[in-house]
Every structure is written in structure tokens, then in C-alpha cells.
Amino acid sequence: MVAEKTDYTLDLRDVIAPFTLLKVTQTLREMKTGERLEILATDHDTRKYLFQVLDATGHYRMVGIDDRNDFCRIHLEKRGNTPLKDHHLIKSY
């Protein structure tokens, strides 16, 4: 599924998960309600960790995921005005 519009695009292909999450959370903090983010990623851990962070906040919704052979596109939309909190990023695994 591909989002109709994209306000922000992060091309994070070949970037490892910790740095990917840092860039994504920085961008999510800047976004306004209703804006959409497209993330291009090749690291399979990115999706897993990203959803853990997003599930903790509830302020973003999944618009779609498009899995390709060599990368995936993840489309998110900001639901509310509450910013992503730093403490949601710290989890023990």
C-alpha cells in the first residue's frame, strides 16, 4: 500500500537500526497532526524497533507498508499534537 501524499521522506537504506530510529524520532517530533512520513529502510530490525516505539506513544498510525526485494517503504501519519517522549525510546531487551 502506498500513501497518497508524503510530507517527509527519510531514505535510510543501508543505515543500521539505532541510527534509523534516531532520525525517525527527530522527524516525528517536527511533524504536525495529519502530516505523513515515508521511511525507506533496508535493515529488518528497523521495522521491529520502530513499531515498539510507535506502539508506546499511540500518536502515529500506520498508513501502509510496501515490502520490496531489497528494502521496504513504511508510511506513517501523525494523529495528535503530543510529541514523542524520549523515555519511550529506552527499553530493555
Q: What is the pLDDT of residues 77-86, one digit of tens each?
A: 998 755 545 4
Residues 53, 56: Cα–Cα separation, whole Å = 5
Q: What is the pLDDT of residues 7-42, one digit of tens each?
A: 999 999 988 878 888 888 889 889 999 999 999 998
Residues 58, 54: Cα–Cα separation, whole Å = 6
Residues 73, 11: Cα–Cα separation, whole Å = 9
Fold (topology level) of 8-89: Translation Initiation Factor IF3 (3.30.110)
Query: Which pLDDT score is estimated for 39?
Result: 93
Give the neighbor-by-neighbor strand order of the sheet with 72-78: 8-12, 36-41, 72-78, 60-67
For the chain, domain boundaries: 8-89
